[in-house]
Structure 1
Amino acid sequence: MCANNRSNRILEVKKIMKSYNSKLTKKNIASMVALLVFAVAVIGITIGFASSANKAKEVDSPVLETNKPVESFSLPASEYTVLKEASVDKLVYMPSLNMWKTHNGIDLGVKENTEIKSVFSGKVVKVEQSTLEGVVVTVNLSNGMTAIYKSLASTTLKEGDKIDNGAVVGIAGTMLSESDMGTHLHLELKKDGKYVDPTEFINIVSSNK
């Protein structure tokens, strides 16, 4: 009887120990899993911050662009004399026409056979022979303005040609409507479709001989 009781107690103790060991193992496993989850979360947050920082650096770093040189107006001739200044909003007397009218350009007296140069780069939109104004070349400039070269004797340009700043437009000649001026260039500039004084954009002095 005592032996049986002793055996039963031993069995009960073994069961209790087994149950305790089982619970302890489950707790340990649960703790390890929790630690792993926490570690993964920390790593994920760290990677997220690093990625955000890299993106921020990419956004904050500007892309450097090569600055193109700013084009400026050039003189149509190296040697000239201002014969008549522009008067785009006031009437002036025109001797050759014997009338008063606006003078929409500037007249530059030059020697015969003088090459007239482009004051700005652009595209030729019209070339015509006028009875009153000689050979006329109209160029839409790359800055949005328009240059009109009148009183030319000749030109090799044609409609659609592109012309560089300082390239030859034509040879200076005469024009019937300003026959009193002899060989010269009559230069007109337009901005937003309206005539403007060329001296506001081109460094033309009263005399440059």
Structure 2
Amino acid sequence: MKNFLQKNGFYVILLMCIAIVAIAAVVMTNNDINKLVKKGLPPKSASEKQTNPDVSMRDSDIIIGDINKKLESNTAQNNVQKYYEEKKQQETAQNSAQNTITKAQQTEPTKVVDNTRDTEKTIKNVSTPVANATPVSSTITVSMIMPVDGQISTDYAMSNLIYSKTLDEWRTHNGIDIAAKADMPVKAAMAGIVEKVYKDLKMGYTVIIKHNGGYETRYSSLGEDIKVKEGQTVKQGDIIGIVSQSASFEIAEGPHVHFEVIKDGKNVNPHDYIKQ
């Protein structure tokens, strides 16, 4: 063995050096492969390493990083483009809906205008004057006569008080009392229709005549012999009864006619309507 080493020692050492270098090369190659596998790149062959001896591990990392950045950049661009496309679709849908509403709003006024024109035509046709039509006056002229010839013993007083001989008190008076001889005829102050004939406990025998324009005349303290009936049409001056003193609340005044004028349910001053 000693002789063998003395003769071939150089070759043995050379062989060991070659083996060590080979083992080191294998170990380094395995490490490179493992790192590339972890980074997601296929391992390079030995020939590729020999062809590109200047590409180190750091250079590979840079290349892989650039590739990832490009992928991420492309993904971001795609996302941005997708976002703008979706936004454009939404705006298009909103514009379409707004156009529909606007068209509907523009259509409705047209219908209203047409209806208005039709209404104007109808009103125009209705308001067209009819040939030979008699015009109707908006006001009714009221002219009454005194229901009996005599003197006013108690006047109309609704805003102040007057003395009542019968009741011995101061009170209002909603008509006029016309003193006259008993049994004198009492006339209708204005044409109308007899609405009511009755005996009132306070005002005695009473006749109410209804006239046009919301007017009524009331004749009280009449005699029992009433000359008209309810529903009868009378003319101005027609005799409706006779003078008496049947009103228990005015009996102290003697024979007379208590005369009232009512407009729309309220007593008014008879002097404003009696012809002088």
- Give the shorter-chain TM-score range: 0.5 to 0.7
Deviations 1:12-44 (A, max 9, x none): xxxxxxxxxxxxxxxxxxxxxxxxxxxxxxxxx
What's 1:157 paired with?
228
Q: 1:169 aligns with which of 216, 227, 240?
A: 240
Which of the pair has the greater relative contact order for Cα pairs under 8 Å at 6+ separation? Answer: 1
Q: Would you say the 8 A contact 1:107–1:185 is kept in 2?
A: yes
Q: Would you say the 8 A contact 2:165–2:253 is kept in 1?
A: no
Partners in 2 of 1:123 and 1:60 — Cα distance? 33
What's 1:196 paired with?
268
- 1:121: how far off? 1.1
Aligned letter for 1:99? E
More helix by share: 2
- 1:180: how far off? 1.9
Structure 1 vs Structure 2: percent identity of aligned residues?
29
Partners in 2 of 1:110 and 1:143 — Cα distance? 30
Partners in 2 of 1:127 and 1:189 — Cα distance? 16
Aligned letter for 1:85? D
Taking structure 1 as the reference length, what is the TM-score of the superposition? 0.62
What's 1:97 paired with?
167
Q: 2:258 aligns with which of 186, 193, 197?
A: 186
SS in 1 for 2:252: helix
Q: 1:145 aligns with which of 215, 218, 225?
A: 215
Q: Would you say the 8 A contact 1:105–1:187 is kept in 2?
A: yes
- 1:179: how far off? 1.4
Q: 2:132 aligns with which of 39, 63, 68?
A: 63
Aligned CA distance change for structure 1 residues 62 and 168 (closer, same or farther; 3 Å) = same
Unaligned residue ranges in structure 1 (runs of 5+): 1-58, 205-209
SS in 2 for 1:143: helix
Aligned CA distance change for structure 1 residues 63 and 155 (closer, same or farther; 3 Å) = same
Partners in 2 of 1:103 and 1:60 — Cα distance? 48
Unaligned residue ranges in structure 2 (runs of 5+): 1-127
- 1:112: how far off? 1.7
Partners in 1 of 2:129 and 2:233 — Cα distance? 40
Aligned length: 145
